[in-house]
Structure 1
Amino acid sequence: MEERSAARVRNELMADMAGVLAESETLRRQAGANMIVQDLSAELRLTLDPRSDEPLTLWARRLVRTCAEADEGLQTLARCLGYAEQQSSSVLALWRLVDEWDAMAFFKGGDLHPLRPALRRIRSTALLTALARRASHSRVQELEEWCDTGWEVFLHLAGNNTAADELPSSLAFLSLAAQHLVKEGRTEEAEELRRWNRKQAQLCGLTEVMADWQQDDFAPPGEPSLHPAYLLIQFEPDGVEPDRFYVSHWRQSDSDGWHPIPGETEKLHRDELAAKVDFLVERAEERWTDLRQPVVIELVLPWSLLAEPVEWWHRETDTPVPIPLAMDYSVVIRSFERLRKAAWHRAWNNRWRRLKDRPAESRPHWSRPEQSAFHLERELKEDDQVVCLVLSEPPGTDSPTAQAEFVAALRAGVPALLWDRRGPGTDFREAAADILQDRGLSRLLDHTRRWRNEALALGPEGWDGHVGRHLALLLDDPERLPGPPAPAGGPEGDGADAG
């Protein structure tokens, strides 16, 4: 195949981008084109020509060229089209071309098309995600929606930042992709990738760095990971309007470390929270179609929401038979107050570390309703092996006793709390004793889910009478903290270096 010059590659890419814009439903309409121009002008701080009576393709070509000459101009163009069309086929096609433009610039105008046939045959989302994580030192956790083959992943990684002492992520990805092709018996294609990779490393002065690149510890996806994936959803009180909350969320599916990916933040009324959780779960499932590990949903709740039976909020509420979250997921609560109160974190971290080092010595503690909160906290702080406190009253109510008991547990650093939302009864004491039969934290979630499954087996007509329907488990891991949320009302935080 004839190698194309840098000028030809650039011209062909701009022509392809213009063609995508000309096919866009938004730009075909005068009002839509005006809106895109306004958004672009505001973000790029440029004066752009409005759409005229000339052929749409010619106007789009001038628009693309103007954006290409501006810093981050083409990325801004794709983003502005996304404002209007979300993840339409035009938006995805434009992002693919923008990534190729950035990759071409990274490789000094070199023709990348010889790599395309082999890389396009790698289509497993699970494999591509694993390769991208390994190549990027876990900076990329999820793939963008337009990165559906190895070709698109390679181009996207070429536009990402790399530390000065690291092999660029795109070259590392090619190295791993070649290794995969060898295992698939496609040795000629693998050697083509390796030759190209070696040439680029030599041109960039990275021959020694390439030689040091270690692949031995990379294992493609096979057996399901023992590490769960997490969907964290946080509800932060507005502070002014008591029935409104800022809802933030993070996804985490990396088995090699804790790298939560933030999503958007929205301000919602209390009545809208359950529907928002349903929406976020569906979005996560769309992202995790090839995920093999189990999924845990963690809901970071303030005091005012602790009485909500969040484990039994419905998913797929637009179907004839919605189902509770507890049917498909392990659901746990986390404390918003503890996450925000840094003065409580030293005790929390210290107790957690001791429990990890000596799990066999850990034990539960049962709060007694007649005991004062002062003496409860004193007892907890005297026994640093307490892993879980069984509450005598359900939190999230107007009860001063319940609030004092809850705060005592948080100040003492106890990572797990267990309660019955109805208030303790004989059936709860039996269930709690069963849940706490094992030392440490490892089986708390499994045992709690087993009791919930027993309630589910009775169906909606009978589960309210079963203790499993009313069990609440707060399980706080200080080593798994949510990252900063995306700005309120901002775009979904799934892009940039998050992959």
Structure 2
Amino acid sequence: MKGRSPERVRNELVVSIVDALQGSATVNQASSREIWREMLSDELSSPVEPFSGDRLRPWLLQIVKACTGVGDGPACLVRSLEYVEQQSATVSALWPLVDEWEAVDFFGNADLRPLRPVLLSLRSADLATMARRASRSRVQELPPWCQTGWQVFLRLSGENSPNGELPPSMAFLALCADRLVSDSRADAAEVLRRFTRNQAHTLGLDGVLADWQHSEFPQPAPSLVPAYLMLQFEPDRVEADRFYLSHWRQSDPEGWHPVRGETVHLHRDELSGAVEKLIEDVEERWADLRQPVILEFILPWELLNEPVEWWSKESDSPSPTPLALDYPVVVRSLERLQRASWHRPWHHKWRQLRERPADSHPHWSRPGQDDTYFFHLERELKEDRYAVCLVLSEPPGGDSGTGRREVLAGLRAGVPAMVWHRNDCSDPSFQDAIGEILQDRGLGSLAERVGKWRKEALALGPDAWDQHVGRHLAILLDDPERKPGPSGPV
């Protein structure tokens, strides 16, 4: 049976995009529609005719047709709407249509509709795993609108592959066919295989497809590059004790490509519970991840001394698990991340720590009675390029006390690492522990050494770990090369 013509395939996609746009509150309201139109013009780098007040649908058809005539036009259209609406239902409905437009283009205007009912029936929790396998781990995460095999297939159709390698979308179809056969759905599997064979023949990849289907896909060795979950707390400057919690997931071993999650607005008392739920969700997403996972808390002044590594997982159980039991945990400074004028010395000190750790050394803060001490502390840290770790004399409270002023001097000087006792930095056990942690000149494994002391505290159990210094050790370790994207609030 002959499929739809390429012209009909394209026209029906244009109509589907227009149908979705007509449900947008932005498009149906004059002032917000004009903002969207201006942003779309900027994205396309060409003018978009304003709405003249006639019927809305013909105007939208005209805009969508114009966008489809530009290489990245459909994506520009949705991105510009996303700037106005963020993650609205309309935006979520449009992104799969953009993926479908790119898939049709990739497959030479082929009619993909016969694949749709088969792939829509695939809603396995393994879709992300199958996508990683089909892309040879180049696709680490799927966007939230990829809930079915159909949506994953469309998304992978936009992924490039080296010459002579089976494209990820076709590899994914082969995996789906295998899954359907194992589910006793051979007829559905044949629909996918027939399409894959035809496309492989068209692209001259018959042999590559055969190799894929008749060989066991090699499991990559576990990556030594950690995955990161970055949790950022930004104070609400209007409402006291309220924060914006943003997060980013980074699991790509080939490069730094953090994926931003949702930003939520919470009271301080709700933060630990929100982090617990967030970590549970990320663990489900990363269920098959073979890398170690590191938690990084990007904290403002108000929370810098919060013992975040002792927040709990599974707090509703009789035996909650401290985060420090399952993850290395470090804190970072929100103020430094947001203050670009502090970044140049930060980069200098970090390169010193990373490239010449054996030549790096800590600086112990020992304030006297003279209030000019903090000026001289900053001066000494700036003049000593090998000083990459600051040991505080007091914990940094929320006020303008000694600990906070020491941290400020360290941030201005670009010091990437700071350690302190969360209650009492004059505690002899803390002094002994820090002496052992810092006794080797190489500071490259500072986080691991702090982690060792935390493990010793954990080994004592909940009834006794408060008596161990490892329960109170805090480490700020700030890598300027690992930055999240922009946060939610402005």
TM-score, length of structure 1 as denominator length: 0.68
Where in structure 2 are the equivalents of 1:57-456 lying within 5 Å?
A: 71=64, 103-104=103-104, 107-112=107-112, 125-126=128-129, 128-129=131-132, 131-132=134-135, 140-144=139-143, 147=146, 153-158=152-157, 160=158, 172-174=167-169, 193=196, 196-197=199-200, 199-200=202-203, 221-370=219-368, 372-398=373-399, 400-424=401-425, 425-456=427-458
How far residue 5 of structure 1 moved from its aligned partner, in angstroms, is 3.3
Whether the 8 Å contact between 2:154 and 2:169 is mirrored in structure 1 is no
- Secondary structure of the 1:423 match is coil
Equivalent residue pairs, number = 412
Deviation, 1:193, is 4.7
Which secondary structure state, in structure 2, belongs to the residue aligned with residue 289 of structure 1?
coil
Report SS of the residue matched to 2:232. Answer: strand
Distance 1:41 1:356 in 2: 49
Is 2:250–2:256's contact at 8 Å kept on the other side of the alignment? yes
**Is the CA contact 1:178–1:191 (under 8 Å) kept in the aligned structure 2?**
no
| Distance in 2 of aligned mates of 1:400 and 1:195 | 72
The question of whether the paired residues in 2 share the 8 Å contact of 1:388 and 1:414 is answered with: yes
Tell me if the contact between 2:228 and 2:251 (Cα under 8 Å) persists in the aligned partners: yes
After TM superposition, give the deviation of residue 122 of structure 1 in Å: 13
- CA drift of 1:469 comes to 1.0
One-letter amino acid of the structure 2 residue matched with residue 253 of structure 1: S
Q: Distance in 1 between matches of 2:125 and 2:282?
A: 23
CA offsets per residue over residues 8-59 of structure 1, 9 Å max, x none?
9969x99xx9xxxxxxxxxxxxxxxxxx99992525539xxxxxxxxxxxxx
Q: Secondary structure of the residue that 2:23 maps to in structure 1?
A: helix
- 1:389 Cα deviation after fit: 1.2
Deviation at 1:179?
A: 11
State the shift of 1:310 in Å: 1.1
Q: Deviations over 1:129-168 (max 9, x none)?
A: 2654766xxxx5412467588775332133x487xxx979
Whole-Å Cα distance in 2 between the matches of residues 222 and 167 of structure 1? 18
Letter in 2 for 1:415: P
CA contact 1:233–1:298 (8 Å) conserved in 2: yes
Helix, strand or coil at the partner of 1:230? strand
Q: Secondary structure at the match of 1:40?
A: coil
The 5-angstrom pairing of residues 460-475 of structure 1 reads: 460-475=462-477
Matched letter for residue 153 of structure 1: V
Task: Report the alpha carbon displacement of residue 438 of structure 1 after superposing the two structures with TM.
Answer: 4.0
Question: How far apart are the structure 2 equivalents of 1:6 and 1:122?
Answer: 35
Q: What is the CA–CA distance in structure 2 between the aligned matches of 1:402 and 1:429, rounded to whole Å?
A: 16
Distance, in Å, in 2 between the alignment partners of 1:460 and 1:336 is: 31
Q: Is the partner of 1:42 in helix, strand or coil?
A: coil
Instruction: Find the counterpart in structure 2 of residue 45 from structure 1.
Output: 28
What's 1:493 paired with? none
Q: Distance in 2 between matches of 1:195 and 1:366?
A: 69
Aligned with 1:337: secondary structure?
helix
Structure-1 separation of matches of 2:355 and 2:101: 51
Partner of 2:479: 477
Relative distance call for 1:344 and 1:131 in structure 2 (3 A) is farther
Offset at residue 459 of structure 1 (A): 2.2
Could you give the per-residue CA deviations for residues 433-482 of structure 1, whole angstroms, max 9, x where no partner exists? Answer: 23224444432222212211222222222111111111111000000011
The one-letter code of the counterpart of 1:484 is: P
Q: 8 Å contact 1:369–1:393 — kept in the other structure? A: no
Taking the aligned partners of 1:300 and 1:220, their CA distance within structure 2 comes to 37
Q: Distance in 2 between matches of 1:122 and 1:115?
A: 20
2:173–2:193 contact (8 Å) kept in structure 1: yes
1:494 alignment partner in structure 2: none
Give the drift of 1:420: 0.3
Shift of 1:485: 2.8
2:282 alignment partner, SS class: helix
Structure 2 equivalent of residue 31 of structure 1: none
Shift of 1:105: 5.7
Tell me the CA shift for residue 111 of structure 1. 3.7
Name the TM-score, length of structure 2 as normaliser: 0.69
User: Structure 1 residue 97: deviation in Å?
Assistant: 8.9
What is the Cα deviation at residue 398 of structure 1?
A: 3.0
Aligned to 1:4: 3
CA apart distance, 1:336? 0.7
Q: In the aligned structure 2, how far is the partner of 1:192 from the partner of 1:105? A: 16
* 1:268 to partner: Cα distance: 1.6
- After superposition, the CA RMSD in angstroms is 4.7
**Alignment CA distance shift 1:113-1:239 (3 Å):** closer
Q: Can you list the C-alpha shifts for 1:372-412, whole angstroms capped at 9, x where unaligned?
A: 22222222222212221111110124353222211111111
Cα distance 1:234–1:133, how it changes in 2: closer, same or farther (>3 A)? farther
> Equivalent residue of 2:245, what SS?
strand
Contact 2:134 2:172 in 1 (8 A): yes
CA shift for structure 1 position 102: 5.9
Equivalence for 1:216: none
Q: Aligned partners of 1:197 and 1:150: how far apart in 2?
A: 20
Q: C-alpha deviations, 1:185-213, integer Å up to 9, x for none?
A: xxx999985762462589xxxxxxx9xxx
CA distance in 1, matches of 2:174, 2:387: 48
Residues in 1 aligned to 2:218 and 2:352: alpha-carbon distance in whole angstroms: 34
Measured in 1, the distance between the counterparts of 2:125 and 2:422 equals 50
User: Relative contact order, CA 8 A, sep 6+: which one is greater?
Assistant: 1
